[in-house]
Amino acid sequence: MRTVIFRTVAPYLTSLMVLFSIFVLLRGHNEPGGGFIGGLIAASAFAIYGIACGVAPVRRALYFHPMALSAFGLLMSTLAGMISLPLSVPFMTGNWMKLHLFGNEIDLSSVLLFDIGVYFVVLGAITSIALALEERDRG
């Protein structure tokens, strides 16, 4: 699998896929997409990078352990659900605010935060499994 072409292309491919996964994540509320799919795309991106260039560069690039990313995502989703508590509405109620930026109106919500949490959980869990398998594969 470690051909020169693959090794050369893989970093660009991975970057593009990660970018695309974020795009899919963010547009999820109105078009097909969302945190789960975005997370899967990002996980496959890192899996490809790992297959092409070895596991060590992926771990360096991720900086955090993928399981830590997963845990961070779960924490984020839980906290997103808890935003509603100080507002005295039931757990997980979506809260929205409008942000005016450069003349555009952007909707921000606790739901988006929740979806980003889902993204990180899926990304982290799948990546850590894939990387662990790739590692032992060569060991």
Partner 1 sequence: MPAEQVMTLAAIVLPFLAALIAPWLTRRLGHHAAWVLALLPLLVFIRFASYVPKVAAGGVVTGGFIWVPSFNLSFSWFLDGLSLTFALLISGIGTLIVLYSGGYLKGHPQLGRFFVFILLFMGAMLGLVISDSFLMLFVYWELTSLTSFLLIGFDHTRAASRRAALQALVVTGLGGLSLLAGLLVTWNITGITQFSLLVRLGGDITASPFYLLALVLLLGGAFTKSAQFPFYFWLPNAMEAPTPVSAYLHSATMVKAGVYLVMRLNPTFGGTPAWETILPLFGGTTLLVGALLAIRQTDLKLMLAYTTVASLGLMVMLTGFGSDYAVAAAVLYLVAHSLFKGALFMVAGLIDHESGTRDVRQLGGLRKAMPITFVAALAAAFSMGGLPPFFGFLAKEEIYAALYAADYWSLAFVAVAVIGNALMFVIGFVVAFKPFLGEKVKTPKDAHEGPALLWLGPFLLALAGLLAAVFSPLFHAIISSPMASAVAGHSEEITISLLPHLGMPLYLSLATVVLATAIYLALTPARNAIAATLTALGWGPDRGFDQFIAASVRASRMLTAILQPGRLDIYMTVTFLAVAAALLAPMAIYGEWPSLPAWPEDAEIHELAIILIAFIGLAAVIWARDRLTAIVTLGVQGFAVALIFMLFGAPDLSFTQFMVETLSVVILALVMTRLRLSPADHRPTKQKIFDASVASLCGVGFMLYLLAVTEQPFNSYLTDFFVAYSKVVAHGANIVNVVIVDFRGTDTLGEIAVVMVAGLAILSLIRVRAGWRPGMLAENDPDAPRGEGT
Q: Which amino acid is at 40?
A: L
| Shortest separation between residue 14's beta carbon and partner 1, angstroms | 14
Continuous segment of H or E residues that includes residue 104: strand 104-109
CB neighbours (10 Å) of residue 9? 13
Which residue lies nearer to partner 1 by CB, 90 or 103?
Answer: 90
Chain Cα centroid distance, residue 78: 16
| Shortest separation between residue 102's beta carbon and partner 1, angstroms | 21
| Shortest separation between residue 87's beta carbon and partner 1, angstroms | 15
Which residue lies nearer to partner 1 by CB, 10 or 81?
Answer: 81
102 Ramachandran zone, left/alpha/beta (phi>0; psi -120 to 50): left
Through-space distance between the first and last CA atoms of the chain, rounded to whole angstroms: 16
Contact residues toward partner 1 (CB under 8 A) are 24, 28-37, 40-41, 43-44, 47, 51, 67, 70-71, 73-74, 77-78, 81, 91-92, 94, 96, 107, 109, 111, 114-115, 117-118, 121-122, 124-126, 128-130, 132-134, 136-137
| Shortest separation between residue 29's beta carbon and partner 1, angstroms | 4
Which residue lies nearer to partner 1 by CB, 61 or 68?
Answer: 68
Q: Which two tokens stand for residue 93?
A: 């109620």
Q: To which residue do tokens 């070895």 refer?
A: 54
